[in-house]
């Protein structure tokens, strides 16, 4: 096809897309059946059946909802500072957002992945990606707290992440934007893309306690990696990545990266890669990346910079990577619960290709290749193909599974979700969504054991669904009942940020898995902890003031502090003495250019404050904690630099004595 004809084809596709995204489906008023409210109703005092963890997109956070009620339970800060909790503002949490580029207070969080054991979600941790400054985070589901973040070197645009192997051996990521490697001269003309730009796949090892470490990377051709999933069952030991821009274009990608009828799914034999690492085939490469960890005993984070990574070259090692042709500009790449079927979703394709793992293995053994791509063998399309779902819809994106032999795929352009049979490839049902859906989530839907009762669709456009709120409307999710033959829309509900991918798990799996209710004071090893009011004090070292403070319903100790001077740096180390569930305390002081703290029971947190003028500055509890919450306050007196006012602190006694 000539470039002119192709440009017209793209233009036509965009027109169709615009038409479908702006048209309101005719049956929208009748979409919800009469019993829908009863099916999503969770009575007061009762718990939801599932936790639904939803990526925050440009908010950098993760939101947690209950299903089927769709009640928002919590927002967990991961890659963005959070004024509500003080994450990224307190001295203890600032290191969590450190990178090789310095402190990064806001990022783009697209995908989430629950930890698994034997291919089933196990409720221990959930992993999250940062897209802009490439990172992977681990959230501990005993505390719903971000406890580890690792930066990914040799990467740009960490979109194809964080996807895991079936026993959480690895969290895996592919770079979206190929760039020159970190140890190469990056000062090269952009139009030397084909020569100088590379794509990297990162395999991050996960320890028994969850700790992450980059085990190795694979240097691949300079393409854009999109989404990925690990093999499971029979295909355990393999990973599958969709990739586009195999044209290796570097400008106007909407045309120049859509020239070919087929791009690729890259199949990676990570077990074979492990063998090469053990055999010493990995090359140690100089890089720079941050590894940040949270310590629950000291209630503090630390950040260290690491300087090397092991790299395998896919060109040199011919049997770790294989390309499978996939129509056209693939986005989603999904593996069914048996591990036999790999579903590719070409954004510009009018069909869904389904590949067979068994056929792929036979094709490799028989060398049924159609040449190579940048040194990587290309398996013949028909040799790996199980079959194609014909005319399923327009703009297929993502697929998940119900565990009963059925697949569900979103269609961005035709604004619908389609149910189809994995083996026969026949379309079984379709339902309109409002509008332009991206990801979908079935609890356990990408694992070996889906809980095929509910499905949530995450839409990109919400016009006509909610009260208007100016130029931008609420982000949207829709809950479907998929327990029967037909999909039934139960509920629309707004979400925070821009939801991309989500994961869900049975509530009892997480709720009963040793969730922390409070930190034991006797186990608090924070360097500035005050384990009782008798340990409250104020200490000067030069111009640094350390305030060892306690909080309990309904006062701070100390609540009067004098003798602080202009030029001092004041660190309020506040320990919440409560030993009861759900009794946090807050702390804020007038004039702080920082957010307040939110301190959990038994925890210590630190607010740095630099007074800028002489005067009296009240501080107070920002989290309503008791009937006398308003009385939970204190004062700091700031005197001029060089003042002779002594440093004093008191509780219940006016010191120093008034004249």
| pLDDT digits 0-9 by tens, 595-643 | 789 999 999 999 999 999 999 999 999 999 999 999 999 999 999 999 9
**Tens of pLDDT along 76-90?**
999 999 998 999 999
| Residue 33 binned pLDDT confidence (cut-offs 50, 70, 90) | low
Q: Residue 359's pLDDT band (boundaries 50, 70, 90)?
A: very high
Residue 501, token pair as written in the block: 């991918």
Of 255 and 634, the one with more pLDDT: 634
> For the domain with range 523-650, which CATH number is right: 3.40.50.2300, 3.40.50.300, 2.60.40.420, 3.30.1330.10?
2.60.40.420
Q: What are phi and psi of 42, to 5 degrees?
A: -120, 115
Structure confidence by residue, pLDDT tens digits, 391-412: 999 999 999 999 999 999 999 9
**Averaged confidence pLDDT in the chain:** 93
Residue with token string 């319903």:
553
Per-residue pLDDT, 16: 44
Buried b (16+ CB within 10 A) or exposed e, 362-389: ebbeeebbeeebbebbbbebebbbbbeb
Instruction: State mean pLDDT over 79-105.
Output: 96
Say if residue 221's pLDDT is above 50: yes
Q: Is 644 helix (H, G, I), strand (E, B) or coil?
A: coil
- pTM for the model stands at 0.94
- Residue 653 has what pLDDT? 86
pLDDT in tens, 496-509: 888 999 999 999 99
pLDDT computed for residue 258 by the predictor: 83
Lowest mean pLDDT across 340-344, 445-449, 461-465: 461-465
Burial class (CB in 10 A: 0-12, 13-18, 19+), 468: exposed
The whole-number average pLDDT for the span 221-243 is 96
Q: State the pLDDT at residue 29.
A: 46
Residue 17 has pLDDT above 60, yes or no: no
Is the pLDDT reported for residue 540 higher than 70? yes
Secondary structure letter of residue 473 according to DSSP:
P
Of 181, 353, 160, 176, whose CA–CA distance to 257 is shortest?
176
In percent, the amount of the chain with pLDDT more than 90 equals 88
Residue 171 to residue 288: CA distance in whole angstroms: 20
The H-assigned helical ranges of 352-434 are: 357-365, 381-384
User: What is the DSSP code string of 110-155?
Assistant: --EEEEEETTEEEEEEEEEEETTTTEEEEEETTTTEEEEEEE-TT-
- Say which DSSP state 557 is in: E
Mean pLDDT of 544-563: 97
Query: What is the domain class of 55-512 according to CATH?
Result: mainly beta
pLDDT of residue 348: 85
Structure confidence at residue 658 (pLDDT):
61
Helix (H) or strand (E) holding 607: strand 604-609
Domain ranges of the chain: 55-512, 523-650
Mean pLDDT calculated for residue range 96-122: 97
16, 77 contact by CB (below 8 A): no
Give residue 657's pLDDT.
Answer: 67
E strands within 296-443?
300-313, 321-327, 330-335, 341-346, 351-356, 369-373, 376-379, 385-390, 396-401, 406-411, 416-421, 427-432, 437-441
């Amino acid at each position: 096809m000539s470039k002119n004809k192709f440009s017209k084809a793209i233009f036509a596709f965009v027109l169709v897309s615009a038409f479908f995204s702006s048209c309101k489906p005719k049956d929208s008023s009748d979409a919800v059946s009469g019993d829908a409210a009863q099916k999503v109703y969770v009575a007061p005092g009762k718990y939801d059946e599932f936790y639904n963890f939803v990526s925050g997109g440009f908010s950098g956070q993760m939101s947690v909802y209950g299903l089927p009620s769709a009640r928002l339970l919590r927002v967990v800060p991961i890659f963005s500072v959070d004024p509500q909790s003080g994450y990224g503002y307190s001295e203890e949490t600032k290191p969590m957002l450190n990178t090789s580029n310095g402190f990064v207070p806001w990022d783009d969080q697209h995908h989430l992945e629950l930890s698994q054991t034997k291919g089933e979600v196990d409720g221990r941790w959930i992993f999250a990606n940062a897209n802009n400054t490439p990172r992977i985070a681990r959230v501990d589901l005993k505390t719903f707290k971000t406890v580890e973040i690792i930066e990914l070197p040799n990467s740009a645009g960490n979109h194809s992440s964080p996807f895991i192997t079936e026993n959480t051996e690895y969290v895996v990521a592919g770079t979206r934007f190929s760039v020159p490697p970190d140890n190469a001269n990056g000062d090269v003309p952009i139009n030397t893309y084909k020569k100088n730009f590379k794509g990297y796949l990162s395999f991050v090892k996960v320890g028994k306690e969850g700790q992450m470490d980059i085990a190795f990377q694979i240097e691949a051709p300079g393409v854009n990696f999109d989404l990925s999933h690990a093999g499971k069952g029979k295909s355990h030991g393999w990973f599958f990545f969709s990739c586009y821009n195999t044209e290796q274009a570097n400008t106007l990608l909407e045309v120049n990266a859509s020239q070919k009828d087929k791009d690729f799914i890259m199949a990676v034999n990570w077990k074979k890669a492990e063998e090469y690492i053990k055999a010493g085939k990995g090359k140690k490469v100089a890089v720079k990346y941050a590894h940040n960890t949270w310590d629950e005993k000291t209630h503090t984070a630390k950040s260290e910079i690491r300087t090397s990574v092991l790299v395998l070259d896919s060109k040199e090692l011919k049997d770790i990577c294989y390309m499978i042709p996939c129509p056209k500009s693939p986005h989603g790449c999904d593996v069914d619960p048996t591990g036999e079927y790999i579903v590719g979703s070409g954004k510009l394709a009018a069909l869904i290709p389904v590949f067979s793992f068994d056929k792929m293995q036979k094709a490799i053994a028989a060398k049924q290749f159609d040449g190579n791509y940048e040194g990587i063998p290309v398996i013949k399309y028909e040799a790996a193909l199980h079959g194609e779902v014909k005319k399923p819809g327009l703009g297929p994106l993502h697929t998940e599974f119900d565990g009963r032999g059925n697949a569900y795929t979103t269609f961005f352009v035709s604004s619908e979700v389609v149910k189809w049979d994995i083996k026969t490839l026949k379309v079984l049902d379709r339902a309109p969504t409002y509008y332009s859906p991206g990801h979908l989530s079935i609890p356990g839907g990408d694992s070996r054991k889906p809980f095929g009762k509910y499905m949530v669709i995450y839409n990109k456009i919400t016009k006509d669904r909610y009260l208007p709120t100016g130029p931008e409307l609420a982000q949207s999710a829709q809950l479907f009942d998929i327990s029967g033959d037909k999909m039934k829309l139960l509920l629309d509900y707004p979400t925070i940020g821009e939801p991309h991918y989500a994961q869900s798990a049975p509530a009892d799996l997480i709720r009963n898995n040793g969730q922390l209710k409070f930190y034991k004071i006797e186990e608090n090893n924070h360097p500035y902890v005050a384990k009782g009011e008798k340990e409250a004090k104020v200490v000067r070292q030069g111009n640094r003031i350390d305030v060892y403070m306690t909080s309990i319903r309904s006062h701070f100790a100390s609540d009067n502090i004098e003798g602080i001077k202009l030029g001092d740096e004041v660190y309020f180390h506040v320990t919440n003495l409560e030993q009861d569930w759900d009794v946090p305390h807050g702390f804020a002081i007038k004039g702080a250019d920082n957010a307040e703290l939110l301190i959990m029971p038994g925890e210590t947190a630190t607010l740095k404050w630099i007074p800028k003028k002489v005067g009296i500055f009240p501080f107070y509890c920002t989290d309503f904690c008791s009937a006398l919450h308003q009385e939970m306050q204190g004062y700091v007196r700031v005197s001029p630099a060089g003042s002779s006012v002594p440093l004093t602190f008191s509780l219940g006694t006016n010191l120093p004595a008034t004249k």
